[in-house]
Amino acid sequence: MAKLRSPATKLSDSTLLQLDNQLCFALHSTSRLVIRKYHAVLEELGLTYPQYLVMLVLWEWEEQNYATPNYLALGKRLDLDSGTLTPLLNRMEASGLITRKTPAHDKRERYIKLTRTGKALKRRAKQVPVALLDDAPISMEEISQLRDALFRFRSALSPES
């Protein structure tokens, strides 16, 4: 059976290998700009961007009464390994946003819980997405469509699909 050729195989090498023709670069450079845009707002909250992502998950889990918010579940949700997650959580615990407890039934596991300070920060964090959306050069509808397309693309690339 003959292998189907993708439309990209019809492009010349010089076109195919131009930086601005790379999806990966468009995603990377846009991501860096969005994170920089959030930086000033996150700094007011005392959070880094990765800490903000952790807080979003923990706030969401608290709303859902998620019973066992542990390292494994958090790492899977954020697509972060324990080598990245542990120092991040160490800093967040030191700043009083979270606590980590070892359950009696399994000494290898650690549950992550928001402190009062971490819970209270949620009210102030509502300004973070607004900082990007208020100044966005495209409409909210276009931003939503872009986000949804990226989630579909991620899902299609995911080995669990």
pLDDT tens for 30-42 read: 999 989 989 989 9
Phi and psi at 102, nearest 5°, equal -95, 120
Percent of the chain with pLDDT over 90: 69
Tokens representing 85? 């997650």
Tokens representing 15? 């076109």
For residue 1, pLDDT over 60 is answered with no
Tokens representing 139? 């409409």
Phi and psi at 12, nearest 5°, equal -70, 155
Phi and psi at 90, nearest 5°, equal -60, -45
Confidence tier at 6 by pLDDT (50, 70, 90): low
Confidence tier at 161 by pLDDT (50, 70, 90): low
Which position has the higher pLDDT, 63 or 68? 63
For residue 57, pLDDT over 50 is answered with yes
Cβ of 115: how many Cβ atoms within 10 Å?
15
Domain 47-124 indexed as CATH 1.10.10.10: yes
User: Measured in whole angstroms, how far is the alpha carbon of residue 141 from the centre of its chain?
Assistant: 21
Global pTM reads: 0.85
Task: Mark out the alpha helices in the chain (DSSP H runs).
Answer: 13-16, 23-45, 49-63, 71-78, 82-94, 116-125, 127-134, 140-157
User: Measured in whole angstroms, how far is the alpha carbon of residue 76 from the centre of its chain?
Assistant: 11
For residue 70, the cross-strand partners are 111
Per-residue pLDDT at 9: 61
Average pLDDT over residues 121-139: 89
Helix (H, G, I), strand (E, B) or coil at 17: coil
Please provide the average confidence, as pLDDT, over all residues in the chain: 89
First to last CA, the chain: 25
